[in-house]
Amino acid sequence: MRFADELYMRRALELAALGHNTTRPNPMVGCVVTYKGKIIGEGWHQKYGEPHAEVNAINSLADKSLLPHCKVYVTLEPCSHYGKTPPCADFLIEHGIRSIFICNTDPNPLVAGRGIRKLLDAGCEVHVGLLEEEGSELNKRFFTFHRHKRPYIILKWAETADGFISRPNGEPTAISGPLAKKLVHKWRTEEQAIMVGTRTALSDNPQLNVREWTGNAPIRIVMDKDLRLPPTLHIFDKKQPTLVYNYERHEHNPNLEYVKITPAADLLEQILPDLYRRTVQSVLVEGGTILLNYFLESNTWDEIRILRSPQQLEAGVKAPALSLCGLTQTATIGDDELFIYRKYP
């Protein structure tokens, strides 16, 4: 591939990222059209149910008669099926596109190579895999959802320099600084759901919404096996969609649903398939230690984010212990340090 091809695909990836949080359950997709080495059209999938990136890019052209002589760069395999919109592979073929560069194949079973096959059968020149890693990172939630039939799981906690997440009696205490708190609220806008355990809901009474950033509040998920949490907690205020997994009952109310699971079966083997059926593509697990350790011990996670404060408690509830490598990123957030671990499939 020429260096210029990478530049055009990077531009398509930049465009795709503009659709973050507006395209779910669809992936983020960007598209660039070039003619004689110049970009003459571009577009991205802006909102679920609306035209896809390829349609927006081609419709942005002033002179569509140039299309048979153009190259198209698209971050994901063009769809091949009728959904909310017609197939993009057919759309490209109908407009005479002959040369197409694709970043990633689509893991969605409704596509999964069929779009590429349509293009090849129509005589198009198709190049697949340009900046594949960057494309996989962009749509990691979508890819994990379709490949593993579960949401993308992010485990997050804040710990002191001596390894505690709260005081000895579980009493909540501010560990992270104000800048880190703002970052956590930004993270909440980026994930579809947020999960806590019974003890965290009881001791912290968290709202699990977005106050320090602008964006959508996630779906709240709480583990309350024996339904012992009092209804006065913030999590039951019905201000945003909330799922309560428990052993006692099924009950559906506006923005508050009780989902019964079986005590004899594995917890995550029931919850994650249920979230998959609800098309929840990502979950930010915020604690506490029991719930976080459950995910760690079952090796069910994709990313871990730890905010480490310089303060010390000397005693309290210990943070989860990590015996793994895979540290991929560190950063300084105000007075705190951020450590990010990734587990690649």
| Whether residues 251 and 187 fall in one domain | yes
| Whether residues 157 and 140 fall in one domain | no
The range of the structural domain enclosing residue 258 comes to 150-342
Mean pLDDT of the chain: 92
Last-in-domain residue among 100, 116, 144: 144
Residue 118 CA to residue 122 CA, distance in Å, equals: 6
| Whether residues 233 and 324 fall in one domain | yes
| Whether residues 88 and 171 fall in one domain | no
Share of the chain residues as helix, strand and coil, in percent rounded to the nearest 5:
30, 25, 45
| pLDDT at residue 216 greater than cutoff 80 | yes
Residue 190 CA to residue 305 CA, distance in Å, equals: 14
| pLDDT at residue 189 greater than cutoff 60 | yes
- CA angle 96/100/103 to nearest 5° reads 150
pLDDT of residue 17: 97
| Whether residues 98 and 163 fall in one domain | no
The pLDDT-based confidence of 324 (bands split at 50, 70, 90) is low
| Whether residues 160 and 24 fall in one domain | no
> Count of domains in the chain?
2
Q: Does the annotation list 81 as a binding residue?
A: no
Q: Do residues 80 and 118 touch, judged by C-beta distance below 8 A?
A: yes
Q: Does the annotation list 200 as a binding residue?
A: yes
pLDDT of residue 177: 94
| Whether residues 135 and 227 fall in one domain | no
Q: Does the annotation list 79 as a binding residue?
A: yes
Share of the chain above pLDDT 70, in %: 97
| Whether residues 87 and 116 fall in one domain | yes
Pairing of strands 193-196, 282-285: parallel
Residue 49 CA to residue 257 CA, distance in Å, equals: 26
Instruction: Return the active site residues.
Output: 54
Q: Does the annotation list 204 as a binding residue?
A: yes
The pTM for the full model equals: 0.92
The pLDDT-based confidence of 265 (bands split at 50, 70, 90) is confident
| pLDDT at residue 191 greater than cutoff 90 | yes
Residue 83 CA to residue 332 CA, distance in Å, equals: 44
| Whether residues 129 and 267 fall in one domain | no
Residue 145 CA to residue 276 CA, distance in Å, equals: 7
| Whether residues 163 and 121 fall in one domain | no
The pLDDT-based confidence of 171 (bands split at 50, 70, 90) is confident
pLDDT of residue 84: 65
Beta-carbon contacts of 319 under 8 Å, excluding residues fewer than 6 positions away, are 157, 159, 163, 164, 165, 289, 306
Last-in-domain residue among 144, 179, 214: 144
Last-in-domain residue among 144, 165, 191: 144
